[in-house]
Amino acid sequence: MSLNESSPHAEDAAAAVQAAAVCHAHKFGGSSLASAAHYRHVARLLAEDGVPAQIAVVSAMRGTTDSLIGQAHAAAGGHDWRDAWAALADRHLAAARELDPADTSGTATWLEDAFGALRRQLDAAADARRLLPEEAATIAGLGEVWSSHLLHTALGGEAQGWACLDAREVLVVHPGELGAGVDWAESRERLAVWRQAHPQPRVVVTGYVARDAEGRVTTLGRNGSDYSGAIFAALFDARELTIWTDVDGVLSADPRMVPDAVCLSSMSYAEACELAYFGAKVLHPQTMAPAMQRGLPLRIRNTLNPAAPGTLITAESQAAASPVKGLTLVDDLAVLELSGAGLIGVPGTAERMFSALHRAGVSVTMISQGSSEHSICCVVRAAQAGAGRAAVEAAFADARADGLVEGVRVTPEIAVLAAVGDGMVGTPGVAARLLAGLAQARVNIRAIAQGASERNISVAIARADAQRGLRAVHAAFWLSPATLSVGLIGPGNVGRALLEQFADALPRFACEQRPERQLDLRLRAVADSKRMLLAARQLDPATAADALADGEALDLDRFVAHVRADHLPHAMIVDCSGSNAIAERYPEWLAAGIHVVTPNKQAGSGPLARYQAIRAAARSGGQFRYEATVGAGLPVIQTLRSLIDTGDELTEVEGVLSGTLAWLFNRFDGSQPFSELVREAHRLGYTEPDPRDDLSGTDVARKLVILAREAGRTLSLQDVEVESLVPEALRSVSRDEFFARLGEMDAPMQARFAHAQQQGLGLRYLAQLDRDGKARVRLVTPEASHASLHSQLTDNLIQFRTRRYAANPLVVQGPGAGRDVTAAGVFGDILSIAQTLGARA
């Protein structure tokens, strides 16, 4: 044999070293092992791993441990357990026979014997009416033992290089205050002995179960299979541990409570520990210890979606857009508060309080104390609140007798919300975002605590506010600050144009490279007077109006509740309906924090009491924007508001406030009948469906009322002197009859035009508000120099005379009619609100 050749024994040794160097550990939870099909799927996942050495730590089949514990308690308590036992036996035997129909592995026969032994044990417990701790632990851990045999069968057993390890043969643990601790030296020695008899490169291991130093069977506690996975990954010197579960990885929050929860690509050990110890369900709290001690990477993956990369947990996590990595919520708590002037400056107060709680066996979840030292509070489990209160009262009985301590107060129905993340360290504004999110959701904070590491901020809030608070805080960190849940009412001409503009603009608002600049505008609901269409996430604005035909019957309360989703930070209703009944709901919506944007003039010009209620609600709740109610897309209200806010005083308003009437009188030169111009304007979409709504002057009067109220006048619609252009005989007939008799307008209008022409003037329909508060809307013959005589087609033209603009009025002029410009005015209001919420679109 040449020097370049190696012996078979040397090759075996090299292969063993290589195998040991690339061992991967996998842990499969009960949801991944719910049936024979699940076991086959797990076998495929392990085959795809492709490394020479593997260990697979298994939980019991889903629901098995609960059933076993229930059977044990039932037997010891003298209750029936046989139906549950039979169902569990049938389920496991059915899986074994499906995996191995001929029972060549003997698994089905072995399970029959195992269930027979369990039946005898339960019979004995029923006869004795008691169950020793070791017996209870033995029964509780049987599910993992059975599960390991089923997976071993699905993998092909020893013929395919798989051994099966009962953890009770090697794993030795001892009890501790923080849970079971591992006797690593003893466990390694036992594993070495076991490996001499079982040298296979791949091993299926039972999770959850172990023995204590005296050899008694014990468990690692509920959900301890994750801990087993980390322990055996360390014992086998694995390079990586993958924990397979039923979610894509560690999520930013519980997806059952936060629909927009996101999967985190990476986390640090420190972040995972904070989340695990604070109630996150993906990881068992003790799982992290073996991984951290050995620098073992952990990966959380989804058995049902193995294509997802999952969450990688290592010593340091990758930088993320959000400084917070996860939010957890612990429920069923109470605040225990000790207060009194005698506590101020007294050393040892906290030690005295927490020693009393420790002696009483009360676990403290959170601690908070103000710098004044007048009070100190802690959050405890609700079930322990009574015992904690009694213990602290006893410890401070002397101080209470002397009047130095007021007493101990317990506030029940508390939940603690915690924000966790390495990115919080040294980052200003994290607490501000958290508190702002809670404030937006109207959630009051009872207590707050932050560790010096800055990785955790915890707040105690009312249990009733817990889910709303969690969703609001999640939105503050993981969504764009300007994520708006939008509901559109009235997809008519203007509403459809607005939806078209939405569809065109949304791609521009999504800026993946600069998420802080994103505007997440979500159209989640559309409604007309009869039907509504709701979407869990969002509707396509390009098709929403047509899809409404297949919607459900309108329930306005449910529509609003859907738009005001707790998991989204902001809600907005856009009312393009023109309905007085819808405007009646504005105060209620605004008071609830829902922003309202509308071209509907009913709110601004309707009953004065309602208008005042709307403005009052907008001062303390949602924002109310209505620019399009006067000038379509023109900045009329914005201009007037700027004048007033800077201290100017409005004296007069005059102008053309109807794009429809502007078009008509810009075109009416006597060369064609006025009725033909009305019909043409209707065809072009410049008029309302019934042109009398424009010709009556009521719409112009409403706009004048809105402007007057904006300037602080208490004007109402009935205070406006209105000249209607509709002849008396045509005002109450049907729309069809009106169109048929439209020619009756021609002679009177031709006479008015001829009279104006004789004076060298033109006709214009103007709104006028003088310095004395008199308001008129009428057809007039302005002076030849009047700006309205030189405007373009559908131009609105508004002249503001103020103390500053007394001699030469401030003029706002531009197109004031048409679906597109009106929709643009509405859209502008939406974006204006979005900017106040943090958008930079």
Report, as residue numbers or ranges, the catalytic residues.
Answer: 703
The helix or strand, by DSSP H or E, that contains position 552, with its residue range, turns out to be strand 552-553
Q: Are 468 and 257 in contact (CB under 8 A)?
A: no
Nearest to 380 by CA among 460, 316, 451: 460
Closest CA to 603 of 644, 575, 631, 561: 575
Residue identified by tokens 């600069």 is 514
For 234: left if phi > 0, alpha if psi spans -120 to 50, otherwise beta; the answer is alpha
CA–CA dist 222, 388 (Å, integer): 26
In SS3 terms, 617-632 reads as HHHHCCCEECCHHHHC
- For 287, other C-beta atoms within 10 Å of its C-beta total 28
Pairing of strands 181-182, 162-165: unpaired
User: Contact at 8 Å (CB) between 496 and 545?
Assistant: yes
Q: Left, alpha or beta for 670 (phi > 0: left; psi -120 to 50: alpha)?
A: left
- Which DSSP helix (H) or strand (E) runs through 407? strand 407-420
Q: Report how far residue 214's alpha carbon sits from residue 177's, in angstroms, rounded to the nearest whole number.
A: 19
Name the token pair of 468. 């709303």
Q: CA dihedral in degrees (322, 324, 327, 330; nearest 10)? A: -160
428 CB-near residues (< 8 Å, 6+ apart): none
The structure tokens listed for 493 are: 């001409």
- Of 142, 145, 129, 152, the C-alpha closest to 67 is 142
Tokens describing residue 683:
């065809």
- SS3 of 161-213: the string is CEEEECHHHCCEEECCCCCCEECHHHHHHHHHHHHHHCCCCEEEEECCEEECC
Ramachandran class of 413: left when φ > 0, alpha when ψ lies in -120 to 50, beta otherwise: left
Residue 204 dihedral angles phi and psi, to the nearest 5°:
-95, 130
DSSP secondary structure, 656-668, as one string: E--HHHHHHHHH-
Residue partners of 840: CB distance under 8 A and separation at least 6: 516, 517, 519
Q: 640 and 741 in contact (C-beta within 8 Å)?
A: no
What six digits make up the tokens of 261?
A: 């929860």
Q: Strands 720-722 and 775-780: what pairing? A: parallel
DSSP state letters, 421-441: -GGGTT-TTHHHHHHHHHHHT
Q: Position of tokens 């980052």? A: 427
Query: Which among 697, 689, 698 has a CA at the least distance from the CA of 606?
Result: 698
Q: Which residues are within 8 A (CB) of 54 and not within 5 positions of it... i.e. 6 or more apart?
A: 23, 24, 25, 26, 46, 201, 202, 203
